Chain A
Amino acid sequence: MTSDESGERTGAGLAGVDPALRRELEALIEARVEAAVEARLGSALEAKIAGEADAQLVARVHALEGLIGDARARLEAVEAKGELERVSILVFSGDMDRLISAFIIATGAIAMGCEVSMYFTFWGLTGIKKKTVYADKSLPERMLAAMLPGGASSLGTSRMNMMGMGPALFRSLMRKHNVESLPDLIGLAREMGVKMVACQMAMGVMGIRREELIDDLEYGGVVTYLGDAIDSKVTLFI
């Protein structure tokens, strides 16, 4: 019960020791064991926390890298667009004076190095007509065709039309001041590369056929216009 027992078997080894000393020893051992366990647990926990933090950091860095990549791509897209400034004009009116304004702005914008698109809808379509067709149209469409102007050279003015005297007066005044006529302006705009789009919905409503409009137009709808207008620095409704 004494010397051949291992000293580590404390309970048995301390059996014969004075109870006060024994309690003290036991307390000491307990404290050391606790400290050792705590140390081991602590370092394991720390390692785990550090590992998780690393993983989170890596994930965040990846996410940020993705965001930076996206932002760079967007910036490049914006810069590429910015190189060519755009102007888009929505031509709703079919008045000669308003159309002259629209085409002077369009050709001026090309001279300023911009890319220009014009969208013709409702009365604006009469400005890009080349002829009137009655065949294969319903009665209301034929009536509308008869009442609408036949093209850019027969439009009325927005004010002082006076049964067609106004436009004649304007034309002579413009000639006197060396201002191009509307048909000339349209020709110039096309020559300079103004993109011209006819609104298909308005064509349908008013019964205007493609063969009634000038050649080499593009055809589109509201989204065609908005697609260009959103990227434009200047957009006008005339």
Chain B
Amino acid sequence: MPIVRLSQAMRKLTAGDVITILADDPAFRADLEAWVRRFGHTVDSFENPEGRLQRAVVTKNS
């Protein structure tokens, strides 16, 4: 449940902060996109989308 963990971590950040997430959930990319769309955060990069271990960098918006 990378999104649950990410949302918990995101609460401690302020607008403009950047966070890197490592996830092995095959649905991570789709879930992350739905999640940032809802809150207006930005995905700066997404590495290894087809692989097992994916890496995303997200900037907090609000």
Contacts and interface: CB of A to CB of B under 8 A. Distances in A.
A113 B4 contact: no
Given A110-B7, A111-B7, A180 B38 contact: no
Nearest to B39: A113
A111 B4 contact: yes
B45 interface: no
A108 B3 contact: yes
A107 B39 contact: no
B39 A110 contact: no
A206 interface: no
B35 to A, nearest CB: 7
B18 interface: no
A111 B39 CA distance: 10
Contacts of B56: none
A179 B35 CA distance: 20
Query: In which size bucket is the chain A interface?
Result: 10 to 19
Interface in A39-55: none
A192 B38 contact: no
Given A178-B24, A192-B8, A113 B38 contact: yes
Given A112-B35, A113-B38, A113-B39, A188 B24 contact: no
Interface of B: 1, 3-4, 6-8, 24-25, 35, 38-39
A180 B39 contact: no
Interface SS of B by simple majority: helix
A189 to B, nearest CB: 10
19 contacts: A104-B1, A107-B1, A108-B1, A108-B3, A108-B4, A111-B1, A111-B3, A111-B4, A111-B7, A111-B8, A111-B35, A112-B7, A112-B38, A113-B7, A113-B38, A178-B25, A179-B1, A188-B4, A192-B4
Interface string A102-117: 0010011011110000
Contact of A110 (B4, B24, B25): B4
A106 to B, nearest CB: 10
Contacts of B38: 112-113
A127 B39 CA distance: 32
B46 to A, nearest CB: 18
Given A111-B3, A180-B1, 19 more contacts: A107-B1, A107-B4, A108-B1, A108-B4, A111-B1, A111-B4, A111-B6, A111-B7, A111-B8, A111-B35, A112-B7, A112-B38, A113-B7, A113-B39, A178-B24, A178-B25, A179-B1, A188-B4, A192-B4
